[in-house]
């Protein structure tokens, strides 16, 4: 019975709706075109546009530039791999473990230069990470207004300063100024193996010449070189921290540091990691400043304060001129190893940054 009643209501509602629809149709203005159109000639409208000639040319040109770009870049990669394969076939896996560079006699490997590259980059990171983190926080959280604008521009400008200028500063100013510091560290922290500086007899070295051209000095210079890049990426991430959550933290009575620790740092973690790794990638590939400062050796030197280290890019700059066909192939192999290393670091960094940014959208 209840069902029948509902059915009756439904029918009534439908009736009313029909009447209303009919009524409104009678009152409404009619579209002029629909009355003129002959009935029955209903062709389906095409939704996909036909390309005009200009569009075709545009699309093909854009496509072509994409192809050329990929062509150039793949050519670099493929060419490097092909030319490097000669040397890699000759040495096999020992290429990664040999500490010498004489392709003429067939004994060469990147163990020492790769160690030097990584040690310089890690020292650079130890210098640049606290500086860039602190400066990025300063720029995004502490200063404001005109001062912030000027300082942000200054950081961007510093990212464009040529590396040879940093190299000049490292050779002609920093080297002399930093030797007492190196000496001090080696005396007081010498019990940590990497900070010790010993001569051939194992005695503590105190002569100033034992501390010049070291990985430590090169690392500091490269560190200052990569700080601007890192700072601008971190600052970007910090300023994106949602304003609502910042104000929420302040409203709960947090100090500025409390707010930073609970909102900005968790939010900007991706930016910190990504910026650090991009800086690391640049530090690994840096050539000219390192080449000007270090004195090249081909053995692993664990004492980073002691004179003598090497890097892959400095090795290429040093040996390309006198290299034979096979020697060039060996240098290509070293360059390829460096490229793969920076490639892995860059991709990890950009995926970390991208992931953190996608989290930025969900402002909950």
Partner 1 sequence: MADIYRTEVLPSVRTTLPGTKTEDDGPRRQVHGFTAAQRYDVFGAAAAGVALATLLFGWFAPLSGAIGWTVVAFLAFLGLYMLLIWLHSDFEEVKDRLITTLFGAAGTLLFTVLVFIVIYTLGRGTEALGHLNLFTQTMKDAGPLDGLDVGGILHAIVGTLIQISIALAITIPLGIGTAVFLNEVGGRFARFVRTISDAMTALPSIVAGLFVYAAVIQAITHERSGLAAGIAITVMMLPIVIRSADVVLRLVPQNLREASYALGSSRWQTVWQVVLPTARSGLVTSVILGTARGIGETSPVLLTSGITAAMNVNPLAGPMISLPLQVFDFVRSPEPTMVARGFGTAAVLLLLVLVLFLLARGLGGRAPGELSDRQQLAARAASLRDLKRFEARRPLVAPVVAARVGVRSEEQS
Site for partner 1 in 274-313 (CB under 8 A): 281, 284-285, 287-288, 292, 312-313
Element spanning 198, H or E: none
Q: With beta carbons less than 8 A apart as the criterion, state whether 151 and 139 touch.
A: yes
Cβ proximity to partner 1: between 21 and 343 the closer is 343
The least CB distance from residue 2 to partner 1, in Å, is 52
DSSP 16-60: HHHHHHHHHHHHSPPPHHHHHSPTT--PPPP-SPPPPHHHHHHHH
Cβ proximity to partner 1: between 109 and 228 the closer is 228
What's the rounded Cα separation, in Å, for the pair 121 and 289? 13
Structure-token match 């059915």, residue found: 7
Among 330, 325, 339, 320, CA closest to 98: 330
Site for partner 1 in 25-54 (CB under 8 A): 51-52, 54
Site for partner 1 in 194-233 (CB under 8 A): 224, 227-228, 231
Out of 74, 187, 243, 252, which residue is the one contacting partner 1 (CB under 8 A)? 74
The least CB distance from residue 144 to partner 1, in Å, is 8
Out of 90, 181, 300, 360, which residue is the one contacting partner 1 (CB under 8 A)? 181
Q: Rounded to 5 degrees, what angle do the CA atoms 190, 195, 197 make?
A: 75
Out of 112, 217, 305, 331, which residue is the one contacting partner 1 (CB under 8 A)? 331
Cβ proximity to partner 1: between 14 and 59 the closer is 59
61, two tokens: 């040109």
Out of 176, 320, 359, 363, which residue is the one contacting partner 1 (CB under 8 A)? 320
Cβ proximity to partner 1: between 132 and 307 the closer is 132
200, two tokens: 């051939």
Cα distances (angstroms) measured from residue 128 to each of 22, 195, 242, 255, 275? 76, 19, 27, 27, 11
Site for partner 1 in 226-265 (CB under 8 A): 227-228, 231, 255-258, 260
Out of 120, 123, 234, 338, which residue is the one contacting partner 1 (CB under 8 A)? 338
The least CB distance from residue 209 to partner 1, in Å, is 17
* DSSP class of 142: I
Cβ proximity to partner 1: between 228 and 268 the closer is 228
Out of 75, 96, 189, 243, which residue is the one contacting partner 1 (CB under 8 A)? 75
* DSSP class of 233: H
Whether the CA torsion 24, 25, 30, 31 is positive or negative: it is: positive
Site for partner 1 in 85-114 (CB under 8 A): none
Taking residue 55's Cβ as centre, other Cβ atoms within 10 Å add up to 11
Out of 10, 14, 15, 59, which residue is the one contacting partner 1 (CB under 8 A)? 59
Among 179, 282, 172, CA closest to 224: 282
Which are the contacts of 303, defined by CB distance < 8 A and separation ≥ 6? 193, 194, 195, 196, 197, 198
Number of residues engaging partner 1 in binding (CB under 8 A): 91
Out of 12, 17, 19, 70, which residue is the one contacting partner 1 (CB under 8 A)? 70
The least CB distance from residue 4 to partner 1, in Å, is 52
Out of 218, 332, 352, 353, which residue is the one contacting partner 1 (CB under 8 A)? 332
Site for partner 1 in 131-170 (CB under 8 A): 131-135, 137-139, 141-142, 151, 153-154, 156-158, 160-166, 168-169
Cβ proximity to partner 1: between 15 and 59 the closer is 59
Out of 6, 12, 21, 73, which residue is the one contacting partner 1 (CB under 8 A)? 73
Helix axis angle, 215-239 relative to 111-137, nearest 10°?
40
């Amino acid at each position: 019975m209840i069902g029948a009643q509902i059915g009756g209501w439904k029918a009534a509602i439908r009736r009313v709706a029909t009447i209303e629809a009919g009524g409104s149709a009678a009152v409404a203005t009619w579209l002029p075109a629909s009355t003129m159109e002959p009935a029955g000639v209903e062709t389906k409208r095409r939704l996909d546009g036909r390309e005009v000639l200009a569009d075709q040319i545009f699309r093909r040109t854009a496509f072509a530039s994409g192809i050329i770009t990929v062509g150039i870049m793949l050519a670099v990669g493929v060419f490097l791999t092909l030319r490097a394969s000669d040397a890699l076939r000759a040495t096999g896996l020992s290429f990664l473990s040999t500490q010498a560079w004489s392709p003429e006699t067939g004994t060469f490997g990147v163990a020492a230069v790769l160690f030097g590259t990584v040690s310089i980059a890690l020292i650079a990171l130890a210098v640049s990470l606290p500086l860039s983190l602190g400066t990025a926080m300063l720029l995004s959280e502490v200063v404001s207004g005109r001062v912030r604008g000027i300082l942000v521009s200054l950081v961007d400008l510093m990212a464009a300063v040529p590396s040879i200028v940093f190299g000049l500063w490292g050779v002609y100013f920093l080297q002399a100024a930093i030797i007492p510091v190196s000496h001090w560290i080696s005396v007081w922290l010498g019990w940590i193996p990497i900070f010790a500086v010993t001569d051939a007899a194992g005695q503590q070295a105190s002569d100033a010449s034992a501390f010049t051209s070291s990985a430590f000095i090169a690392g500091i210079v490269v560190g200052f070189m990569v700080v601007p890049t890192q700072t601008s990426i971190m600052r970007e991430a910090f300023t994106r921290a949602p304003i609502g959550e910042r104000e929420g933290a302040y409203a709960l009575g947090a100090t500025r540091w409390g707010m930073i620790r609970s909102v900005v740092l968790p939010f900007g973690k991706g930016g910190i990691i990504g910026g650090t790794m991009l800086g690391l990638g640049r530090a690994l590939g840096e050539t000219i400043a390192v080449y000007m400062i270090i004195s090249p050796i081909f053995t692993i030197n664990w004492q980073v304060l002691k004179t003598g280290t090497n890097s892959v890019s400095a090795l290429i700059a040093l040996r390309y001129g006198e290299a034979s066909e096979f020697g060039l192939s060996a240098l290509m192999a070293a360059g390829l190893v460096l490229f793969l290393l920076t490639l892995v670091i860059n991709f990890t960094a950009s995926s970390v940054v991208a992931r953190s940014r996608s989290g930025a959208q969900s402002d909950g």
